[in-house]
Amino acid sequence: MNRHLSPAEVQQAETLFPPLTDSLRELVDLAIRSEADEADVRRAHALIGEAARLLGSRVAPHPGIRTAGDGGALTWGNVLIGNRNAIAPPLRVHRDDTGKVWADLVLGAAYEGPPGLVHGGVCALVLDHILGATAHRPGEPAFTGTLTLRYVAPTPLGALRAEAWVDRDDRGKTFAEGRLIDAAGTVTVQAEGIFIRPKANSGTRR
Amino acid sequence: MNRHLSPAEVQQAETLFPPLTDSLRELVDLAIRSEADEADVRRAHALIGEAARLLGSRVAPHPGIRTAGDGGALTWGNVLIGNRNAIAPPLRVHRDDTGKVWADLVLGAAYEGPPGLVHGGVCALVLDHILGATAHRPGEPAFTGTLTLRYVAPTPLGALRAEAWVDRDDRGKTFAEGRLIDAAGTVTVQAEGIFIRPKANSGTRR
């Protein structure tokens, strides 16, 4: 864990970096799909190197998560919801009063496994996060205990919904269920998992 | 699926893009960890936009996977092994004569969930791929049927090994087991899965 960031530093980071990260997501997609001329690719590579030198002029020590002055962990690097992580789609997680959690997302070429389909492991990645989110309590992080996935139909690239709900909650263990649904309304993956909130811990889950 | 690429196009793509993608992986990491001055961040953002314009000057139709002239699918966009996908660590998958499959990988800030730890969903992503690789046969893609994960210890960011082996193979179904191991040799996640090779299909898995 790194030093605490001041409110001004947090605000600057949260203003400047998310739009840069959006551009970076586009670049990740284009690096896969581009058929540009050799000269353009070489020039793009040089620009990427120059951008890395600029961002690398001052860098937080590894690994990633930093905390604000109040000690709260900042989730901007999170692989699923981080607004500074170009790997993150990013997931916008919604909840209702009943404990149901869901997110609508669009997965492009960068999440592909078989031709035209989302990689099975990416389905697992998304569902782990959404099921886990049912167990999250402020200040009480939850960790995955077990996760079981049943792939019942291919998951096409494009618009998807991930959703989860609590089956039961038992002494710090949340038994969650959920599923991934494609744009046509077909359930493609069913999931169930047990998520555990350790008693003595702090910070945020994921 | 897009048009077939000529051998010259494939060779150019495989020479030019993997080094660019390595630089892009560095940039993804820095976008999370950078504490650069505002002016440097804005300049980096502009360079990223310019690189995207160059790569976007000619682009394959969405979605991603392309085929070579011989009809074989190119895995360069794959989310785990793709050498043109900046999300991919990338995984270098090894096999031995006994059917054992393994990969050594290093996961940095971009794969973080809880502070200092790999996101549980990323563990699932990697294990799905490695277990699935035990079932892959040339020309016979395998799809995940079920996947069960038991998280037995936190997975620290850094060097990891993922490994898997075949428990049994039964009429196109491979029953695979595997695990994730940290740099200290601790097993952090145990996995088992069933992978299915459809009879009438072509292309490559993942």
Q: Are A160 and A107 in contact (CB under 8 A)?
A: yes
Strands A143-151 and A173-182: unpaired
Residue B174, min C-alpha distance to chain A (Å): 15
Percent of chain B having pLDDT more than 70? 89
CA distances from B66 to A34, A35, B18, B118, B204 (A): 11, 11, 16, 31, 11
Token match 């004569």: residue? B97
Strands B158-170 and B101-107: antiparallel
Nearest to A203 among B86, B114, B205 (CB): B114
Nearest to A111 among B12, B23, B79 (CB): B79
Tell me what the pLDDT averaged over chain A comes to.
Answer: 89
Same domain as A160, residue A115: yes
Q: Which range of residues forms the domain containing residue B183?
A: 89-196
Same domain as A106, residue A181: yes
Least confidently predicted of A56-70, A144-158, B153-167: A56-70
Token match 């011989």: residue? B70
Q: Are A57 and B7 in contact (CB under 8 A)?
A: no
Asked if residue A201 is part of any domain, the answer here is: no
What is the pLDDT at residue A65?
62
Asked if residue B150 is part of any domain, the answer here is: yes
Same domain as B93, residue B192: yes
Asked if residue A99 is part of any domain, the answer here is: yes
Same domain as A76, residue A118: no
Token match 């440097």: residue? B40
The model carries a pTM of 0.92
Query: What are A170-186's pLDDT values in tens digits?
Result: 988 999 999 999 999 99
Token match 């999170």: residue? A78
Q: Are B60 and B13 in contact (CB under 8 A)?
A: no
Mean pLDDT across the stretch A132-143?
85
Rg of chain B over CA atoms, in angstroms? 19
Mean pLDDT across the stretch A191-198?
94
Same domain as B76, residue B97: no
d(CA B50, CA A118): 29
Same domain as B151, residue B65: no
| Residue in B144, B133, B128, B148 with CA at minimum distance from that of residue B198 | B144
Query: Could you tell me if B106 lies within 8 Å of chain A, comparing CB atoms?
Result: no
Same domain as A128, residue A74: no
CA distances from A90 to A129, B142, B157 (A): 12, 28, 21
Same domain as B182, residue B102: yes
Token pair of B93 as six digits = 């998958």
Chain B residues whose CB is inside 8 A of the A23 CB are 45, 48-49, 52
What CATH number corresponds to the domain at position A133? 3.10.129.10
Asked if residue A191 is part of any domain, the answer here is: yes
Q: ∠A78-A83-A84 over CA atoms, to 5°?
A: 80
Mean pLDDT across the stretch A133-162?
92
Number of domains present in the structure of chain A: 2
Q: Can you point out the beta strands (E) in A40-100?
A: 67-68, 94-95
What is the pLDDT at residue A72?
65
Token pair of A7 as six digits = 């409110």
| Residue in A105, A52, A87 with CA at minimum distance from that of residue B86 | A87
Residues 125 through 144 of chain B touching chain A, CB cutoff 8 Å? 125-129, 132, 141, 143-144
| Residue in B74, B33, B170 with CA at minimum distance from that of residue A35 | B74
Asked if residue B202 is part of any domain, the answer here is: no
| Residue in B102, B84, B83, B85 with CA at minimum distance from that of residue B93 | B102
Same domain as B147, residue B97: yes
- Other Cβ atoms closer than 10 A to B11: 11
Asked if residue B201 is part of any domain, the answer here is: no
Last residue of a domain, one of A69, A86, A103: A86
Same domain as B174, residue B147: yes
What is the pLDDT at residue A71?
60
Chain B residues whose CB is inside 8 A of the A148 CB are 146-149
Asked if residue A203 is part of any domain, the answer here is: no
Q: Can you point out the beta strands (E) in chain B?
A: 4-5, 67-68, 94-95, 101-107, 143-151, 158-170, 173-182, 187-196
- Main-chain dihedrals φ then ψ at residue B121, nearest 5 degrees: -70, -30
Same domain as B156, residue B121: yes
Same domain as A80, residue A95: no
Q: Give ipTM to 2 decimals.
A: 0.92
Token match 């971009």: residue? B110
Asked if residue B124 is part of any domain, the answer here is: yes
What is the pLDDT at residue B32?
94
Q: Evaluate if residue B204 carries a pLDDT over 50.
A: no
Last residue of a domain, one of B32, B56, B86: B86
Q: Evaluate if residue B165 carries a pLDDT over 80.
A: yes
What is the pLDDT at residue B62?
61
Last residue of a domain, one of A54, A86, A118: A86
More confident residue, A205 or A78: A78
Query: Could you tell me if B152 lies within 8 Å of chain A, comparing CB atoms?
Result: no
